[in-house]
Amino acid sequence: MYPGALYNHLLLTPVLDQDQRARLDIVLVSPRNPLNIGAVARAMANFGFAHLTVAAPYAPNWREAKSAIGAPELLEQASEMPSLRQAVAACSFVAGTGTLTHRKPEQPAVPLHALGPILQRELARGGRAALVFGAEKHGLTRDDLAFCNVLVEIPTDPHQPSMNLGQAAAVCFYELAGRPMPADAPPAGEAAGSAPAGLDAPAPASADLDRLAGLIEETMAAARYSPQSMQAANRQDLRLLLRRLALSAHDTRRILGLFRRILWRLARTPSPPES
């Protein structure tokens, strides 16, 4: 095979196969410029991704973006959700994107080149995954990241760490579907931030983890664990903790049952008199 043909063959060897790409949702959180949404849709079409969700968009006419060249159907079929929480509810693994220049993530941070093996591992467990991009001005907020299992760092020069939304998406899609896996890449599941070795049981959906976090929060309130002013911070901490634990769906159901029993007991136990 002559060098040019070999190059083209390697270029078209995807990290994620067609089935895996079909189970990866691309989620944009509060995008302001419809042209950026169209640019993301065009990049998705370039690399074979088909499922776009726009959460809390600023512009109501974002489906009419002229920049979605070759991908108008993708925009027409895209989902719109009022929040990131609802956008990733059915996903068992969520990867947020951003820079570490002005951020100290509370979940594992992984370089972009490690994302492919992690997604391979997680999708092999069943379910869906999501790749999330934040708003143009500030990226993903701390509250947004509470729904993410990992933060994916896109390598950029420290003098200019931020990227245009469409460009950042295109770089990620190329890494997942256009660039071949390096020969020395770790096997799926051994990359940083992936599920613990041997944990092949189905992972819980994000909505199930939120249900568990809500029940734990309710139990904490019933037990007077902390003042009401701490509830918002506790809620974020619980979301992050449950995702760091990498629970299986079976374990999530068992813990739900445990906290329901605890809450039931607390509701029937007389409260001590106020001191």
Based on the fold, state whether residues 44 and 102 are members of the same structural domain.
yes
d(CA 145, CA 269): 37
pLDDT (0 to 100) of residue 199: 55
Task: With respect to residue 201, please indicate whether it lies within any of the assigned structural domains.
Answer: no
Kindly state whether residue 199 falls inside one of the protein's structural domains. no
Residues 29, 158: one domain? yes
> DSSP code of 48?
T
Q: Is residue 272 part of a domain?
A: no
Is 94 part of a structural domain of the chain?
yes
- Specify if 125 maps to a domain: yes
Q: What are phi and psi of 47, to 5 degrees?
A: -115, 15
Contact present, 85 and 147 (Cβ < 8 Å)? yes
Residues 210 and 150 in one domain: no
Which among 177, 194, 228 is the end of a domain? 177
**Cα(267)–Cα(259) distance, rounded to whole angstroms?**
12
Residue pair 262/255 in contact by the 8 Å Cβ criterion? no
How many whole angstroms separate alpha carbon 3 and alpha carbon 228?
Answer: 66
**3-class secondary-structure state, position 194:** coil
Residues 68 and 166 in one domain: yes
Give the Å distances, CA to CA, from 153 to 18, 34, 62, 126: 24, 24, 27, 25
Residue type for 131, please?
L
167 assigned to some structural domain: yes
CATH number for the domain spanning 164: value is 3.40.1280.10
Which amino acid is it at 121? R
Asked, for residue 187, whether it belongs to a domain, the answer is no
End position of a domain, from candidates 137, 162, 177? 177
- Domain residues for 143? 3-177
Q: What count of other Cβ atoms lies within 10 Å of the Cβ of residue 11? A: 12
74 and 133 together in one domain? yes
Low-confidence residues in the chain, pLDDT < 70: 1-14, 179-200, 271-275
Q: Are residues 154 and 77 in the same domain?
A: yes
Q: Do 160 and 63 lie in a common domain?
A: yes
Residues 147 and 237 in one domain: no
Overall domain count for the chain: 2
The Cα 243–Cα 204 span in angstroms is 10
Give the pLDDT of residue 274. 58
Handedness of CA 72, 116, 17, 243 (dihedral sign): negative
36 shares its domain with 167: yes
Tell me phi and psi for residue 156, to 5 degrees: -140, 165
- Angstrom distance (rounded) from CA 22 to CA 32: 26
Residue 45 shares a structural domain with residue 116 = yes
At CB < 8 A and 24+ separation, what contacts does 185-190 make? 185/113, 185/116, 185/117, 186/114, 186/117, 187/117, 188/117, 188/118, 188/120, 188/121, 188/124, 189/117, 189/120, 189/121, 189/124, 190/117
| CA–CA dist 55, 80 (Å, integer) | 6
What is the dihedral sign for C-alpha 95, 96, 97, 99?
A: negative
Specify the pLDDT at position 246.
87
> Residue 5 in 3-state DSSP?
helix
- Whether 188 maps to a domain, the answer reads no
Structure tokens at 165: 């939304």
* 70 and 172 part of one domain: yes
Instruction: Please report the pLDDT score of residue 105 as a whole number.
Output: 79
User: Is the entire prediction scored with pTM above 0.85?
Assistant: no
Together in a domain, 37 and 167: yes
